[in-house]
Amino acid sequence: MRYFWLVLTSVISFTLGLPQTAADGQMVPNVAFYIRRKVLLEDGGPNRTIRILVLAPESPKYPYSLFKVLAAVEFAVQKLEAQGRNGPLGGRSVKIYEKNTHCSSTLGPLAAFDSYITGEVDVFLGPLCPYVLGPLSRYTAVWDIPLLTAGGQNDNFDQKKPYYSLLTRMNGSYTQIGHIFLKILRRFHWHVIALLFHNFSDHILGNSNCYFTLSAVYRKLNREVYYLNFDETDPKTNYSNILKDVTQHARVIVMCASPNTVREILLAAEELNMVDKGEYVFFSTELFTSKKENANPWMRKGDSQTRNKRARKAYEALLTVTARKPETPEYAEFSRTVKDIAKKKFGFDYGEEEVNTYVTAFHEAVLLYVLALNETLEEGGHITNGSIITQKMWNRTFE
């Protein structure tokens, strides 16, 4: 099997706390702006403690749940503070705040707005859920507060101006996945493909991450692609019928769904004799995966030996596109430390779960922000110069 990578989102907006637009089109600060400025001045102005607000859903079902990413942020701060005055913090202290967004387009932005007014935030880390990130990233452009996230890979966020000028995406853009597939298709002279992906049938839930992921592929291929979506949470979903439909249009099938659903699709393909003769090629785009899942993705302990054997055969027709994690001793030590902090400080036990790329990105976000902040201060700027700090974070590398 082979591995590559990528993700995406959608935007909504509400107007709580934004400056008002005057008749001449200029933005006029409102009451919330003045309340925040008063709080900051009373608390020592721009030379005070650096305040980081971490925004994520608390539920452990998410790969980027609050206590997973908090442990990575805590670890980064510990390393920076240990360097003392000779490090990029220059002896300054850091205070970490956290808020549960519930992955809610209402509760998430409200939590951020509350922290904005009370002066609890110099930089936002997160959110990740697209319907929270959309409105909040618009507000930060007006508030002049940097926002770094491991999410936001939706190509809606590719255009920085006018709304996303202070948004920094640590994991890139789903557009990169479109580039990957375009190169693969050209390499093997494949001209016709189909997109098969999970999306919610209940529109109240919005679109799934898979919808946003493969939207980038769809656009990159000039929208000349057959696509079919299904709801993997619906027990009535019939994957055999779905495959019979898709095969009428293409023999190269790009999928995006949970690992269990991909396995069920491949089992259905095996039953339909689609994996024996090399007539069909399947791709799976996985937003994140673990080394354990990569080793035996067809295996399920609770399933029969017969089905596991069939699944193994079916996976021979599958190529997987996913994020690649480092396999260095340094990364192994990083993972152990993050798990230890998560358990001791936040009461979250990783168990056999691995530290994923979302969590790693939060650790890197802290380092990136502090480096850019330090440069800004050395040049005579202030911690409240969010636009300047953001520009210094872009297009740079660090260890």
Instruction: Based on the fold, state whether residues 63 and 90 are members of the same structural domain.
Output: yes
Task: Clarify whether residues 139 and 231 are in a common domain.
Answer: no
Tell me: do 266 and 286 sit in the same domain: yes
Fill in the DSSP letter of residue 285. Answer: E
CATH number for position 56: 3.40.50.2300
Residue spans of the chain under pLDDT 50: 1-28
* Residue 345 and residue 293 share a domain: no
Let me know whether 381 and 274 are in one domain. Answer: no
In a domain, 2, yes or no: no
Position of tokens 């990575």?
72
The answer to whether residues 185 and 232 belong to one domain is: yes
Considering 257, 288, 321, which residue would you say is the last residue of a domain?
A: 321
What is the domain count for the chain? 2
SS3 135: helix
What φ, ψ does residue 359 adopt, rounded to 5°?
-65, -45
**pLDDT (0 to 100) of residue 16:** 40
Query: Where on the phi/psi map is residue 301: left (φ > 0), alpha (ψ -120 to 50), or beta?
Result: alpha
pLDDT the model gives residue 178: 87
Q: Is-contact 85 91, C-beta < 8 A?
A: yes
Query: Mind listing the pLDDT tens digit for each residue in 15-56?
Result: 344 444 444 444 445 556 666 665 565 566 555 789 999 999
Q: Is there a domain that residue 10 lies in?
A: no
User: What are the helix (H) ranges across 83-208?
Assistant: 107-117, 130-143, 175-188
Q: Which pLDDT value is given to residue 41?
A: 59
Residues 179 and 316 in one domain: yes
Please report, for residues 18, 340, 364, 372, the alpha-carbon distance to residue 350 in angstroms, rounded to integers and kept in the order given.
39, 9, 20, 32
Q: Which of 261, 296, 321 is the last residue of a domain?
A: 321
What range does the domain containing 300 cover? Answer: 175-321
5 domain-assigned = no
Q: According to the model, what pLDDT value does residue 45 have?
A: 52
Question: Can you give the pLDDT at residue 237?
Answer: 95
Residue 320 and residue 286 in contact, taking contact as beta carbons nearer than 8 Å: yes
Provide the token pair at 151: 């999410």
Beta bridge partners of 285: 321
Residues 295 and 360 in one domain: no
Pairing of strands 147-149, 123-125: parallel
Residues 6+ apart with CB under 8 A from 177: 4, 5, 6, 213, 216, 217, 285, 321
Which of 294, 321, 348 is at the close of a domain? 321
- In this structure, the answer to whether residues 246 and 198 fall within a common structural domain is yes
- In the prediction, which pLDDT does 148 show? 97
15 located within any domain: no
pLDDT value for 398: 65
